[in-house]
Amino acid sequence: MKGAHPNRTELGDQAVSVRTVTRHFGSTAALDGVELSIAPGEFVALLGRSGSGKSTLLRLLAGLDSPTTGNVKVPRERMVVFQEPRLLPWKTAIQNVSLGLARDNPVEHARAALAEVGLEHRLHAYPATLSGGEAQRTALARALVRDPKLLLLDEPFAALDALTRIRMHRLIEALWVRHSPAVLLITHDVDEALLLADRALVLDKGRITAAIEVDLARPRELGQPGFLGLRKRLLSAIGVHDVVRPEEIPPTRTAPTENLPSIVSALRRQLA
């Protein structure tokens, strides 16, 4: 029934609306009063140290989890791409993309989506024979072929080598321009956030502690005018100056000075 879905009727002109959301795991507040709106077609990057609640927020937006308190509204048409491609190993690339696709000619749409991500020549390849970048592009094709209004990306490039990452950045931007979904991209990479996003958010202990508008002309490149200034602001918002807090340094089992005599005598024995 058209318009009956609460997400459609209540979202208004937003693609995402998160209101005073908390998510507790036992005594841990993974999210602690999060407010977030994403406009249709807006590209938002989400940064923050490990354990700050990024994946918890993404899982709520994906509908894989529910908030403890508060309100999450998202479009029904949403897709997630994770760090690992999560392809079915016994299906080919095109079968993975077309699987469960509820539209006419699913195989033709899957073929077109794989062509869009540059995998026309790998349609019938099995996941085990795909490179990391190819597998991730297949996962992207599987998401895009469903025309999502919201694309959720949880560190999708983190496991890829540097050159493949750069190619993926260009691909993601081209696909975003063509399909214009709202995007939430979780990344640890400040440059990645500034190359791609309209807005960069920082999450710390379950709270959004910074929101930085990335008003750089597109297409973007590292070091273009304004880039370094934003980079500095974002790094300081993440707290890079104190990335290693004393409580995060693992205790050493033996103090180096205690070890020293045995190291010296071992060396002496070798030299003797």
Task: Select from 5, 9, 20, 25 the one that contacts ligand ADP (CB under 6 A).
Answer: 25
State the residue for tokens 């993974």: 30
Task: Select from 20, 28, 105, 180 the one that contacts ligand ADP (CB under 6 A).
Answer: 28
Specify the residue, 112 or 158, whose C-beta has the smaller distance to ligand ADP: 158
The verdict on 48 binding ligand ADP (CB under 6 A) reads yes
Distance between CA atoms of 24 and 92, rounded to whole angstroms? 39
Q: Which of these ranges, 51-59, 81-89, 112-120, 167-175, lies near ligand ADP under the rule CB under 6 A?
A: 51-59
Q: Considering the complex, what minimum distance in angstroms separates the CB of residue 228 from ligand ADP?
A: 26
Beta-carbon count within 10 A of 160 CB: 18
DSSP structure class, residue 189: -
The verdict on 187 binding Mg ion (CB under 5 A) reads no
> 76: number of CA atoms within 13 Å, CB side?
9
CA distances to 36, 56, 58, 128 from 64, in Å: 18, 9, 9, 27
Q: Which of these ranges, 22-30, 167-175, 192-200, 226-234, lies near ligand ADP under the rule CB under 6 A?
A: 22-30
Contact present, 35 and 72 (Cβ < 8 Å): no
Q: Considering the complex, what minimum distance in angstroms separates the CB of residue 55 from Mg ion?
A: 3
Q: How far is CA 231 from the centre of its chain?
A: 19
Kindly report whether the peptide bond that precedes residue 219 is cis, defined as omega within 30 degrees of 0: yes
* Among Mg ion, ligand ADP, none, partner that 28 touches (CB below 5 to 8 angstroms by kind): ligand ADP
Task: Select from 2, 12, 13, 50 the one that contacts ligand ADP (CB under 6 A).
Answer: 50
* Among Mg ion, ligand ADP, none, partner that 92 touches (CB below 5 to 8 angstroms by kind): none
Specify the residue, 52 or 96, whose C-beta has the smaller distance to ligand ADP: 52
Q: How many residues bind Mg ion (CB under 5 A)?
A: 2
Identity of the residue numbered 268: R
Q: Dihedral through CA 174, CA 177, CA 178, CA 184, nearest 10?
A: 90
Site string for Mg ion, 47-66 (x = CB under 5 A): -------xx-----------
Contact present, 103 and 131 (Cβ < 8 Å): no
Task: Select from 14, 47, 52, 111 the one that contacts ligand ADP (CB under 6 A).
Answer: 52
Nearest of 164, 183, 186 to residue 175 by alpha carbon: 183
Q: Considering the complex, what minimum distance in angstroms separates the CB of residue 186 from ligand ADP?
A: 7
Where does this chain bind ligand ADP (CB under 6 A)? 25, 28, 30, 48, 50-56
Which residues form the interface with Mg ion (CB under 5 A)?
Answer: 54-55
